[in-house]
Structure 1
């Protein structure tokens, strides 16, 4: 008797370990693993160039784990999945759930169509510790502030699912390959602007496991103290691995708890709360689907953003004349990543010092970040702008000079990404415009020639922002 064929639809779960959909499909019989590049997603939601670079390598890594059996397609999953069910005479389809609004709508349509055709469809949670529909306030309402959401909602709820091992054996269905080559998806850039990514990252499940192990052995021990210092590797660097599902938050959660299971470990609590912020971002996106495009706080609909293409271009290229801002934007371009503290600094500078719409920053990050995540990107930008849930108050404007002096005291981070400032003394590295002429001459820096003059006066622009935001709050 022929064993039943089961399709496993991989999406944001490009791993073998702790993959509930894969395990359930393997338990049910022979499998055909499938990945579909969905071309029907709105242009604004298609992965950016950096994320596509990562996806290309992650798919190759997954295919290797699957012994070359991954079948890859491009098109509309609404059409392709039913066609594959027919082509392979599949009895069931398994997938892990996505939580972006467009994905929810798409998956609902597909599930209904497949069930109507007599196909069994099973979906699972593989990417969140707590699904957004499961966390509610006592009165049934939705949390809009992070701390009560995480401390009262999540930590008082059912403990996160314990991770499962990889299937002991995988029985691949004896079917012909009708898919595409991964290279034919054209995910890699035509110009080799991503060449330096290879020096910093190892996409794939093995790379994710290695990064988690390195974090536990090193930075996790002093996370609370080191996470704000951009010149040291004080954070986990797991965000792109989590986004593409090469590792699950459950694996990270329990690995950290097992490694640092001591009472009152502030480093552990601090890191786990960052995982909680990721959960909160998805929670907000699920309950407020317009989060990436609309102000969470409708008062900001009256705000008059400045149309400043020159300022935006200087910001995006790391040419603002504000060293820590420029260093952050250059790190982004060179590595596909930016330190989290610096993300807040460059975001505040764009939105508050330049008064440029947060959505423009969100779109730039979406295209340039390897870890570009629909939920986290939108929630974080709205937080910085002051328009989001649990947002920074409008009067909280990061002073990039003070931030640099506090978190990059010797200017190591700035000098790495702005090497033209390498000889500026620590006292002036974050404000070279205040350095005496003899020091600038010694450093070989001529403002306006080999390093920009500040494109905006920080004090005056801060007051301009305060006035503009105060006016908005009064409407």
Structure 2
């Protein structure tokens, strides 16, 4: 008995049915569409068993499963090494075409090439689409074709391109949903995948305060941010709909979305930044990398309230306010002279919205070693930051209950640390 010819759509960081470019094109194909998600062993093996992001992904997949079951379809959830999973799928189904949306991280590019090459060897057509950004790869470059390495010119070119009338297409899939393959696949539990439910949960995003975002975004006690970042990371929202809305609502918020794309194209063009300084002239910096001091930073026991509140918030919730991220990152690199790679790795373990390009980009910005970074001689004073952005101490008291009951002394003197940092950087910059 011959198998039914099918198309497969591979969900990755685009966990939604609406305005999903690759999914739209898959549903326009002549064959029934089987939606697939793969829990990748290469990623999972480095995560704790109660990783909050895996719990979040599983919850999102369950929601997709619920929507698909309403039309008699279901999601095919697999676990393993991606190549082995695809080899098994090719044996199991008569696959004619495979559709997916692009990912621009080095591992993803390598993985997708291997899968595409394998599918091609089996005479299966593979199609990749731009979905998680407005402009990808080399769409926003300088006149000479080279990538931008400074944000403001990149942003200006981005806005110029966007305003030239390239109306964004919203990909309506509602009328195509009946094209999904009708079969009830087994949906694995978290336990079957090898994980347990995390006590840390992702907050639903909230766009109601974005009109005043530019006025309130630096004050962590106001809780006025959108909590959008993990939803953008895993694609529960459409970047196209978001940009159209942001352009009408708040240009400062739109600028933050453009920063996201700036760091993505930096990572794409300069993949060395994952582990190395963008500015190689900074490779001579002699980091102290004191493990005991790093432990105090991780635990939020530095004696600097803004730093400690931020780290405790991160450890407890997987979130940290953006202004506070700058303060804690600067403190680690400048006050303690601990390499940005250590901080980047810790954030990668903890952040619900962990995105490689933004995490590396922002850490190198704080350390002064990245593209368009803060100058090395700018050293945030955590106490001044506290007075400016949490003057009444509301945020710090939330996360440091002992603040008024004999809070710890600062582990390092600010003036001494500042002078030490500037001298170390100056001595380490390669001529």
User: Please, what TM-score do these two structures have when normalized by structure 1?
Assistant: 0.84
Deviations 1:62-113 (A, max 9, x none): 2222227111111122222232133121211111111111111111121122
Following the alignment from structure 1 to structure 2, what is the Cα–Cα distance between the partners of residues 227 and 385? 22
Answer yes or no: is 1:392 the counterpart of 2:374.
Answer: yes
Alignment check: 8 A CA contact 1:306 1:356 kept:
yes
Deviations 1:419-452 (A, max 9, x none): 222xxxxxxxxxxxxxxxxxxxxx4x23xxxx32
Alignment check: 8 A CA contact 2:101 2:128 kept:
yes
- Residues 111-260 of structure 1: pairs in structure 2 closer than 5 A: 111-153=116-158, 155-156=160-161, 159=166, 161-168=168-175, 169-175=177-183, 177=185, 180-188=188-196, 194-195=198-199, 197-198=200-201, 201-202=203-204, 211=205, 214-215=206-207, 217=208, 219-258=209-248, 260=249
Alignment check: 8 A CA contact 2:74 2:184 kept:
no
Moved more, 138-147 or 70-79: 70-79
- Partner in structure 1 of residue 409 of structure 2: 453
Deviation of 1:411 after TM superposition, in Å, equals: 0.8
- Partner in structure 1 of residue 254 of structure 2: 272
Deviations 1:233-283 (A, max 9, x none): 22221000000011122121112335x3xxxxxxx1111110000001100
Following the alignment from structure 2 to structure 1, what is the Cα–Cα distance between the partners of residues 49 and 225? 24
Cα separation, partners in 2 of 1:240 and 1:328, compared to 1, 3 Å: same
User: Please, what TM-score do these two structures have when normalized by structure 2?
Assistant: 0.92
What stretches of structure 1 of length at least 5 have no aligned partner? 203-210, 261-267, 422-442
Deviation of 1:48 after TM superposition, in Å, equals: 9.3
- Partner in structure 2 of residue 322 of structure 1: 304
Cα separation, partners in 2 of 1:373 and 1:45, compared to 1, 3 Å: farther
SS where residue 285 of structure 1 aligns? helix
Please, which of 320, 326, 335 is the counterpart of residue 338 of structure 1? 320
Alignment check: 8 A CA contact 2:50 2:196 kept:
no
Deviation of 1:42 after TM superposition, in Å, equals: 9.6
Following the alignment from structure 2 to structure 1, what is the Cα–Cα distance between the partners of residues 342 and 74? 40
Answer yes or no: is 1:15 the counterpart of 2:16.
Answer: yes
Please, which of 303, 307, 313 is the counterpart of residue 289 of structure 2? 307
Deviation of 1:300 after TM superposition, in Å, equals: 1.7
Following the alignment from structure 1 to structure 2, what is the Cα–Cα distance between the partners of residues 273 and 160? 19
Displaced runs of 4+ in structure 1, greater than 6 A?
Answer: 42-48
Alignment check: 8 A CA contact 2:53 2:352 kept:
yes
Deviation of 1:154 after TM superposition, in Å, equals: 5.2
Following the alignment from structure 2 to structure 1, what is the Cα–Cα distance between the partners of residues 359 and 314? 14
- Partner in structure 2 of residue 52 of structure 1: 54
Following the alignment from structure 1 to structure 2, what is the Cα–Cα distance between the partners of residues 473 and 301? 7
- Partner in structure 1 of residue 38 of structure 2: 36
Alignment check: 8 A CA contact 1:72 1:182 kept:
no
Number of matched residues?
A: 423
- Partner in structure 2 of residue 358 of structure 1: 340
- Partner in structure 2 of residue 72 of structure 1: 77
Deviations 1:190-215 (A, max 9, x none): xxxx42x34x624xxxxxxxx2xx31
Following the alignment from structure 2 to structure 1, what is the Cα–Cα distance between the partners of residues 266 and 103? 14
**CA RMSD, Structure 1 to Structure 2 (Å):** 2.3
Answer yes or no: is 1:83 the counterpart of 2:88.
Answer: yes
Deviation of 1:123 after TM superposition, in Å, equals: 1.2
Deviations 1:8-66 (A, max 9, x none): 11010111111111121222231111111122359679999332232222222222222
Alignment check: 8 A CA contact 2:296 2:302 kept:
yes
Cα separation, partners in 2 of 1:127 and 1:166, compared to 1, 3 Å: same
Please, which of 402, 422, 426 is the counterpart of residue 466 of structure 1? 422
Following the alignment from structure 1 to structure 2, what is the Cα–Cα distance between the partners of residues 395 and 48? 40
- Partner in structure 2 of residue 377 of structure 1: 359
Moved more, 392-401 or 300-309: 300-309
Cα separation, partners in 2 of 1:283 and 1:402, compared to 1, 3 Å: same
Deviation of 1:171 after TM superposition, in Å, equals: 3.1
SS where residue 364 of structure 1 aligns? helix
- Partner in structure 2 of residue 105 of structure 1: 110
Cα separation, partners in 2 of 1:160 and 1:369, compared to 1, 3 Å: farther
Deviation of 1:181 after TM superposition, in Å, equals: 4.1
SS where residue 170 of structure 1 aligns? helix
Following the alignment from structure 2 to structure 1, what is the Cα–Cα distance between the partners of residues 379 and 49? 30
Following the alignment from structure 1 to structure 2, what is the Cα–Cα distance between the partners of residues 98 and 335? 27
Deviation of 1:400 after TM superposition, in Å, equals: 0.5
Following the alignment from structure 2 to structure 1, what is the Cα–Cα distance between the partners of residues 126 and 174? 20
